[in-house]
Amino acid sequence: MPRDVDEKKTRKALRKLRKAAERAKAEGIELSDWEQEFVEGVDERLTKYGSAFADPSLGNTEDALSNAQSEILRQLDKKSRGKSTGGFKTRKPLGWKKKAEQKSHTGRDIHDDLDEAEDETLPSPPFSGPPKLSVVKPVQTENEAPGVNETPAQAEGDRKRVSPRPTGFTVIEGGRSDTE
C-alpha cells in the first residue's frame, strides 16, 4: 500500500533540491560525484514516487525526504551558497559562559604562600654529627609501687613478697535496677 505523501512537501523538496544544484552550478562550485549522484537519485524518486524514502522508521511518513536526506540537502544548500560546511560540531550547553563567570575561588591560592615562606625560613643549624645516645636509669618515686621500673628478672624474685590481688565481687549501688 503506497504512503500518502503531502504534494506540497514533495514540490518544496524538489524545488530546494533543484535550486541548490542550479546555484552550485551558477557559482562555479563543483559538486562531488557522490553529491551529484544524490541529487539525481532523489530528484528521480521524488518525481516518480512523490517520496525519496520507503522505510517509515527513517522519517515522518508525510514528508518527502527522510531525516538524513533533509540534512544532506541542507548541507548541499549551504555549499551552493558558499557558506562553510563545518559538519556536526559539539555545542556547549546553554549558560556555559554564565557559570564560568560566576565561579569564584573561596579558598586560598597555594602559590601566594610560596614567596613569603621562602623569605621567612631561618637557616638551619650546622650539622654537628650523629646524635649522642646514653642510657637513662629509672628513678623510683614514693608514689610508685616497687617493681614497676625493674627488669623481668628482678620482678620475678620480688613476686613472692608482693601480696596477691584481692579477689571478690563488689556490688556498686545506683546501677541498673531489676524493677524496670
The whole-number pLDDT of residue 109 equals 74
The whole-number pLDDT of residue 1 equals 42
Name residues of the chain where pLDDT drops below 50. 1
The whole-number pLDDT of residue 149 equals 55
The whole-number pLDDT of residue 15 equals 92
The whole-number pLDDT of residue 49 equals 84
Domain-by-domain residue ranges, the chain?
10-81
| Residue in the structure block whose three cell numbers are 556536526 | 88
Rg (CA), the chain: 47
Spatial separation of the C-alpha atoms in residues 164 and 132, rounded to whole Å: 43
Sequence-distant (6+) residues with CB within 8 A of 41 are: 52
| Residue in the structure block whose three cell numbers are 591560592 | 109
Mean pLDDT score of the chain: 76
The whole-number pLDDT of residue 150 equals 58
Spatial separation of the C-alpha atoms in residues 10 and 51, rounded to whole Å: 7
